[in-house]
Structure 1
Amino acid sequence: MTDRVTQAYLSDESLHGVMGRLDLPPCLEAAYGHRLVNRPFFLEEAVAHEIAADLLAFFELLLTLPRRFFNGSFKDFAAALGLPPEEAALMSADRPPLHGRADIYRDGDRFRLLEVNAGSQLGGPDLGELARVIRETPEFEPFADAHGLRHVNPIEKLLDAVGRDRTIAFLEEGGMLTRFARGFASFREACARQGVDVLLGELHEVTERNGHLHLGGTRLDAVIRYFSAKQAVKYADLLTKGHKTELYTPLSSYYYGNKSTLALLSERRAELTDAERALVDKLLPWTRYLRDVPRDEVRAKREDLIVKAAGEFAGTGIHPGWLLTDREWADLLDDVAGQPYVVQERVRPTTDVVPGDDRPWVTTWGWFFTDAGFAGMSIRAMPVEDGAVISYAGNPLTRVSGLLLY
């Protein structure tokens, strides 16, 4: 299915050079300018909000799993997900805010959920700025005006959720602030455009004084967390001592962003209500703990399955069966046996057309959501022939673009 605005864009060759003539802010240019898809993407606004509403309902369903299946025991819940006890010890039973990014494939008129990234440690929120620049580019503006195009900025929604009148720091750890320096500079630039000056730092630079966390001598009201539960174990004393600085989002978000959570939900769908089953079936492909599926069955269905490390991110530990030989697939299953992996039904996405490129492209739609609903989109895409892991940090062949609503 090609929507009417996409068809209108593709039919107007005068617009096809717009991505090469964007006047990007400096840090956004440094982060993404060399890896842009040669087109913007378009979506009906009602669909954006409909899927976001489904995602919020889906997340609410995930929040019921400890009570529903583990008698409220988060210790048992963590064990079922394969979370190390030292990491689980940092995660409270308190309800985390609904904040995340769902990675989704478009399959005709349907949108199918690949995974839920729960928490604030998300790539791509600054791509809302890319959408803004596309919308404001002079040669594109008449088309945008004619179709009533607009964008939603994930950075704006993030700052709304955290609170704009506070001293905020983005915190990483383990040298990741340096490794992803261009990305964090782009985040900071996008925040500044929203009128909020944020600090950047790593967890090892933080101290606690008078009941607040401090970074470089500055008292912090809120931390937008980019460090992981694994990285936080070393700083357990600092993070669990009841300081007044808000951690947005708490480490308990990892319960619900773990791919094993999806396997648990998929496996026990028969125990859900009719409405809950309908929601799960609408969004989620068949997903199971790898350990629970007979090995012969997984081997036989290689072409239709993908194996994923339950707690990894940025494309790490993802193994598409259809890109492996029978021998490679069997060896993989041997290598990961007993480890926290899930196996998921292959989703065959509708491919996209990119001007100037005869190859079919596949796109991951990164649906940002907060408690308030739809919070913008990150678009990542690449030619089908370049693989199956569409991750900006994990695959250098991945490209990005902006989403405009109509």
Structure 2
Amino acid sequence: MVTHKYLDACAADPALRDAVASADLPEAYAAAWRKYLLPRPMFCAEDGIRRAADDLRRLFGLLTSLPDRLFGGDVRAFCGALGMDEHRTGIMTRFAGDPVLYGRADMYQDEAGFRLMEFNVGSELGGVDVGDLNGPLLGTDAFGAFAADHGLAHVDTTAAIARQFVRATGKDDPVVATLEGVGGIAPYEALHRSFQESMRRHGIDLVYGDVDQVQTRNGRLHLHGKPIDLVLRYYSPNQLARDDRNVAPAETVQRAHEEGRVVLWTPVSNGMFAYKSSLALLSGADLDPDERALVDRVLPWTRQLTRDLAEFVRAERDTMILKPIAGLGGHGIRTGWDQTDREWAETVAECLREPHIAQRRIVPNREPVMDRDGRVTDWTAVWGVFAFPDGYGGAFCRTVPANGGSVVNIGTTGARVASVFHH
């Protein structure tokens, strides 16, 4: 196993276990990510992760077929079944468009392969440039030699994204505007600067700002004085629902897209398929044998939490996790295995008050990590697997110490990120 060979090599060579810390990182990338980097990258079999990405492509096709399969094409009925309120349903139908496969699946790897927890399908994806560590890492003598000896390779996620933008616009060097909701850029500017740096290396002129900073001149959308070919939407359906200041400028972008004056990547309505309850509908849907085999292979048992299901969820406490249907960053997740029977019964009753899903627990493989002092500890990794219209788009991992709890996010104490190589 490559991981164990890597740890053995690190034990023998301090330069290898220091490779991540000593890699010559691009300036903006270092400012955004250096403090979060795990001491080593993650390794996986190429055929396994490509098979997972292909499964995700097929799963997305099933998800986007649900309005027609289950509701006769009635999108409002589909949104209602997901648990959306009327206001958010109106947002989804008002800012509609053909769904685009531009997603990051959050997956655990266990003995059976990669298993899906959540599927983020929309342009507001995090971690898109974490894998830019791989080039500088290969540039170090110690890791470059190890990678050559063990046949390691990787998929460049930012190059794959740049390719999507070139194809969508028909231009070799499009101007791309990354747009946050009103007041949204400031908290994430370091991340946007890092992504801007990446895109420019791939020939994409990327500018970023808030959606209300967009101006219309001679029929073209402009941001900071530059005419825009493609809008990379980072304002979310929830931001549109919560803050009316976003609605009018978002409508300006939507209108320009519908009139062919700009490419909107991706439509706001993509967000309906990112609701965790869409996975619950798919998990319980009447599918043909091949479709059922795909869903069962990728997705653990997932259902909407209802009063009829509550007794079963209470009884299966050791294997159950409850999640809000549209929660982000792990907020609101409740796990049965770290509660008593009484506490879990109270948790289930509380979660019935708002839309939640119940999902079967996945027990992930442990990932041993050696620090710069030679100490080895076990970590838990969530694999962020990117899937794009032309296939597998690379991956990165969010990690926490194995005793650090069930939520694995950058905001979690001690959390780190890692790039991914395959063999």
- CA 360–100 in structure 1, closer or farther in 2 if over 3 Å, else same: same
SS at 2:239 equivalent:
helix
TM-fit CA distance, 1:320: 2.0
Instruction: Return the offset for 1:195.
Output: 2.5
Listed as ranges, the gaps of 5+ residues in structure 2 are 167-171
For 1:162-212, what per-residue CA distance to the aligned partner results, in whole angstroms no more than 9, with x for missing partners?
225221111112433211222222111111222322111011222344443
Aligned 8 A contact 1:315 1:395 in 2: no
One-letter code aligned to 1:11: D
C-alpha deviations, 1:245-265, integer Å up to 9, x for none?
A: 221011111111110000001
- Secondary structure of the residue aligned to 1:275 is helix
Q: CA deviation at 1:328?
A: 4.0
Deviation at 1:111?
1.2
SS at match of 1:322: coil
CA contact (8 A) 2:119 2:274 kept: yes
Q: Tell me which of 136, 145, 158 is aligned to 1:133.
A: 136
Question: What CA distance in whole angstroms lies between the structure 2 residues aligned with 1:239 and 1:174?
Answer: 10
Residue 41 of structure 1 corresponds to 42
CA distance in 2, matches of 1:113, 1:294: 22
Structure 2 match to 1:252: 269
What is the 5 A alignment of 1:80-159?
80-92=81-93, 94-159=97-162
Shift of 1:353: 0.8
CA-CA distance at 1:309 after TM superposition: 1.1
Match of 1:242 in 2: 255
Counterpart CA distance in 1 for 2:351 and 2:112 is 35
CA contact (8 A) 2:48 2:113 kept: no
> Displacement of 1:281 after TM fit?
0.5
Is the Cα–Cα contact under 8 Å of residues 381 and 399 in structure 2 kept in the other structure? Answer: yes
Cα distance change on mapping 1:28 and 1:359 into 2, 3 Å: same
Select the residue among 385, 389, 399 that pairs with 1:367. 385
**In the TM superposition, what is the alpha-carbon distance from 1:292 to its structure 2 partner?**
5.2
Q: Please, which runs of 5 or more residues in structure 1 have no aligned partner?
A: none
Question: Given that residues 212 and 249 in structure 2 are in contact (C-alpha distance below 8 angstroms), is that contact kept between their aligned partners in structure 1?
Answer: no
**Structure 2 CA distance for aligned equivalents of residues 250 and 36 of structure 1:** 32
1:132–1:151 CA contact under 8 A, matched in 2: no
Alignment counterpart, residue 319 of structure 1, candidates 288, 310, 334: 334
Q: Quickly say closer, same or farther: Cα 1:302–1:210, change in 2 above 3 A.
A: farther
Instruction: Name the structure 2 match of 1:73.
Output: 74
Q: Is the 8 A contact 1:125 1:153 kept in 2?
A: no
CA spacing shift, 1:359–1:223, aligned 2, 3 Å: same
* Superposed displacement of residue 293, structure 1: 4.7
CA pair 218-320 structure 1, distance change in 2 beyond 3 A: same
Q: Within 2, Cα distance between the matches of 1:112 and 1:158?
A: 24
What secondary structure sits across from 1:72 in the alignment? coil
Selected match of 2:295 from 280, 288, 292: 280
Q: How does 1:3-402 map to 2 (within 5 A)?
A: 4-12=1-9, 13=11, 14=13, 15-92=16-93, 94-163=97-166, 164-233=172-241, 234=244, 235-240=246-251, 242-243=255-256, 244-268=261-285, 271-291=286-306, 293-355=308-370, 356-392=374-410, 394-402=411-419
TM-score when normalising by structure 1: 0.93
Relative distance call for 1:175 and 1:325 in structure 2 (3 A) is farther
Matched-pair contact (CA < 8 Å) for 1:135–1:150: no
What amino acid maps onto 1:131 in structure 2?
A: N
2-structure distance, mates of 1:307, 1:174: 31
Letter of the 2:403 counterpart? E
Q: TM-score w.r.t. structure 2 length?
A: 0.89
